[in-house]
Amino acid sequence: QVQLVESGGGLVQPGGSLRLSCAASGIMFRIAAMGWYRQAPGKERELVARITTDGTTNYADSVKGRFTISRDNGKNTVSLQMNSLKPEDTAVYYCRLFDGTIYWGKGTLVTVSS
């Protein structure tokens, strides 16, 4: 049974940083593409960043230069380092795994507010 568990969300002031982590189990992690998505209140879920099995990354324009996605195949984790956070980054952040089938975590809330 595949499980994705996100952690690291919370309340942070504008300009601050947070690091999200997603731990995967029940799957051959190293052959899966991973991604972070987010959903703000009243909006559709959107791609934030993704990383392929060979480490290729791509980012939403809104987070380029501020967010960094990385993966550790030995620990079955994918992380999202978020710097220079803005109020518009407030959302529930979801971890997504794709190995031919899509799996989602339950999400972690990030609130950027003073």
Please say if the pLDDT value at position 65 is more than 80.
yes
Q: Which residue has the tokens 């189990």?
A: 25
The pLDDT value recorded for residue 1 is: 87
Collect all residues with Cβ–Cβ distance below 8 Å to 53 and sequence separation of at least 6: 30, 31, 32, 33
Closest CA to 30 of 103, 97, 102, 81: 97
Residues 26, 114: Cα–Cα separation, whole Å: 39
Hey, which residues does 57 pair with through a beta bridge? Answer: 51
Query: What local confidence, expressed as pLDDT, does residue 29 receive?
Result: 75
Per residue in 37-62, pLDDT tens?
999 999 999 999 999 999 999 999 99
> Mean pLDDT in the chain?
95
| Residue indicated by tokens 């380092």 | 81
Q: With 90 as the cut, is the pLDDT of residue 103 above it?
A: yes
Instruction: Name the band, by pLDDT with cuts 50, 70 and 90, for residue 20.
Output: very high
With contact defined as beta carbons under 8 Å apart, do 22 and 33 qualify?
no
